[in-house]
Amino acid sequence: MEYLSERREVLKTAQEISAAKMVTGTWGNVSRKADNQPLMLITPSGMNYGTMSIEDIVLVDYQGRVVEGKFKPSVESPLHAAIYCNRPDVGAVVHVHSTYATAFAVAGMSIPVILEETAQIVGHEIMTAPYAKCGSDDLAAMAVQTLGAGNAVLLANHGLIGVGKRTADALQVCYIAEKTAKVALLAKVLGGANTLSPEETKLLNENFRSYGQAKV
Ligand SMILES: [Zn+2]
């Protein structure tokens, strides 16, 4: 079996999104690009994260064809593949249905840059891609378009996607997006959320990336 470290990364992150209640049941999915190959390791469709093992992670090409694995890959494989095809800098994709981020996706609203962490880790307002059915090529195309060069995108009436070099980076984007959505909603209750300006956001993001302990 190839790609052992990538398989471990995918499994560990899939179990973490479940333990952190970023998804319910078997929803959500995680993938990692196979280095130097147009292939990805992705969670299988509809399987319990608690009992999943590294051999259950499916190796597929960008057309969704299984290269290695005995299970069907995630139904969102076209979405993950479309991101890798359009973003050579991305090595991992995490998709969750966390409550507060999804509330913004349902309202069709962007998650604003209101925390320093949002500026540092995400680096931009998180926009909502127009609605398309889960697992469809339309969803993949619209998510890629709305994501652009960013690190996170909301899927209307559905959930959140975070991207990064490794699964831990993409997961961190999801955690910060979810926390930002929660704080934004609470601040709105208190009378309004003050956003950081694009200039402040850019500066925070650049400073964070240029220091030794930056994780993204
Ligand atoms: Zn989903």
Query: What confidence tens digit (pLDDT) does each residue in 85-110 have?
Result: 999 999 999 999 999 999 999 999 99
Å from CA of 178 to ligand 1 middle: 15
Compute, in angstroms, the gap from residue 7 CA to the centroid of ligand 1.
Answer: 20
In a domain, 17, yes or no: yes
Asked if pLDDT for residue 214 goes beyond 70, the answer is no
Report if residue 188 sits inside a domain: yes
Name residues with Cβ closer than 5 Å to ligand 1, which is an ion: 159
Task: Return the half-sphere exposure (C-beta side, CA atoms, 13 A cut-off) of residue 212.
Answer: 0
Tell me if 203 is assigned to some domain: yes
Domain that holds residue 38: 4-210
Look over the chain and give the mean of its residue pLDDT values, rounded to a whole number: 94
Over residues 128-158, the pLDDT tens digits come to 999 999 999 999 999 999 999 999 999 999 9
- Domain membership of residue 215 (yes or no) is no
Sheet holding 92-96, edge to edge: 66-68, 58-61, 39-42, 29-33, 92-96, 159-164, 152-155, 128-129
What spacing in Å lies between the alpha carbon of 19 and ligand 1's midpoint?
Answer: 17
Residue % of the chain over a pLDDT of 90 = 91
In a domain, 216, yes or no: no
Number of domains, the chain: 1
Can you tell me the mean pLDDT for 59-77?
A: 95
Residue 137, in any domain of the structure? yes
Helix 167-189 to helix 99-107 angle (10° resolution) is 70
Q: Is residue 32 one of the residues assigned to a domain?
A: yes
Kindly give the distance from the C-alpha atom of residue 175 to the centroid of ligand 1, in angstroms, as a whole number: 16
pLDDT tens digits along 193-204: 999 999 999 999
pLDDT range class, residue 171, cuts 50, 70, 90:
very high
Burial class (CB in 10 A: 0-12, 13-18, 19+), 202: middle
What's the 191 CA to ligand 1 centre distance in angstroms? 32
Q: List, by residue number, the catalytic residues.
A: 76
Identify the CATH number of the domain in which residue 104 sits.
Answer: 3.40.225.10
